[in-house]
């Protein structure tokens, strides 16, 4: 059995622990939201996991040119850096995954993705973990198997 940790990084970082058994069955076993930008309170989850799936963050040039990021402290990027350090400290590998996969990940969760809906951080983290497991580890979407 593998334990996957999905992460939706930001000022409020969503996380979700998902098991993947030998027959490809997924199960969400724990989830939550952390406001700890150092990610220290996620240390146990990270060290217990076999793989961390982190939503990546790329700066949109069009948004940047409008001044959307002027004087920003880029909390999401800080959290991603802290997660990468945690990965190294706990010898837990990680992959980064585009936010564009969330609608499909929600489908694998048997949920509907609503663009812009607030406070969905832990569900977004579940979607990342489940999407990775289906696409890269032969898992079945939730509710199948």
Task: Count how many domains the chain has.
Answer: 1
Distances (CA, A) of 12 to 66, 75, 91: 25, 9, 24
pLDDT at 144 over 70: no
* Model confidence at 145: pLDDT above 70: no
DSSP string computed for 93-133:
-EEEE-GGGHHHHHHHTT----TT-SS-HHHHHHHHHHHHH
Here the tokens at position 6 are 């999905």
Kindly state whether residue 64 falls inside one of the protein's structural domains: no
Q: How sure is the predictor about 62, in pLDDT bands with cuts at 50, 70 and 90?
A: confident
Decide if 86 is inside a domain.
yes
Average pLDDT of 112-123?
95
**Percent of the chain surpassing pLDDT 90:** 86
* For residue 60, pLDDT beyond 80: no
CATH code of residue 13: 3.30.420.10
Tell me whether residue 85 is in a domain.
yes
Domain assignment present for 142: no
Average pLDDT over residues 16-22: 96
The pLDDT of residue 73 is: 83
Residue 109 placed within a domain? yes
Number of C-beta neighbours around residue 96 at 10 A: 17
The percent of residues above 70 in pLDDT, for the chain, comes to 96
DSSP letter for 41, please. G
Residue 92 lies in a domain: yes
pTM listed for this prediction: 0.93
Which range, of 31-40, 67-76, 79-88, 105-114, averages the lowest pLDDT? 67-76
Q: What is the pLDDT of residue 72?
A: 72
What count of other Cβ atoms lies within 10 Å of the Cβ of residue 98?
12
Per-residue pLDDT band for 15 (boundaries 50, 70, 90) equals very high
Whether 144 is covered by a domain: the verdict is: no
**Residue 24, domain extent:** 2-59+72-137
Domain assignment present for 15: yes
Top-confidence residue, 144 or 129: 129
């Amino acid at each position: 059995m593998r334990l996957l940790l999905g992460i939706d990084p930001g000022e409020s970082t969503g996380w979700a622990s998902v098991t993947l058994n030998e027959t490809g069955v997924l199960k969400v076993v724990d989830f939550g939201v952390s406001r700890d930008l150092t990610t220290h309170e996620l240390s146990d989850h990270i060290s217990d996991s076999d793989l961390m799936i982190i939503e990546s963050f790329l700066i949109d040039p069009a948004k940047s040119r409008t001044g959307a990021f002027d004087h920003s402290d880029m909390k999401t990027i800080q959290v991603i850096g802290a997660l990468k350090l945690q990965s190294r400290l706990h010898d837990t590998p990680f992959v980064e995954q585009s936010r564009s996969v969330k609608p499909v990940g929600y489908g694998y969760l048997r949920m509907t993705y609503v663009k812009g809906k607030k406070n969905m951080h832990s569900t977004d983290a579940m979607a990342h973990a489940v999407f990775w497991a289906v696409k890269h580890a032969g898992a079945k979407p939730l509710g199948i198997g």
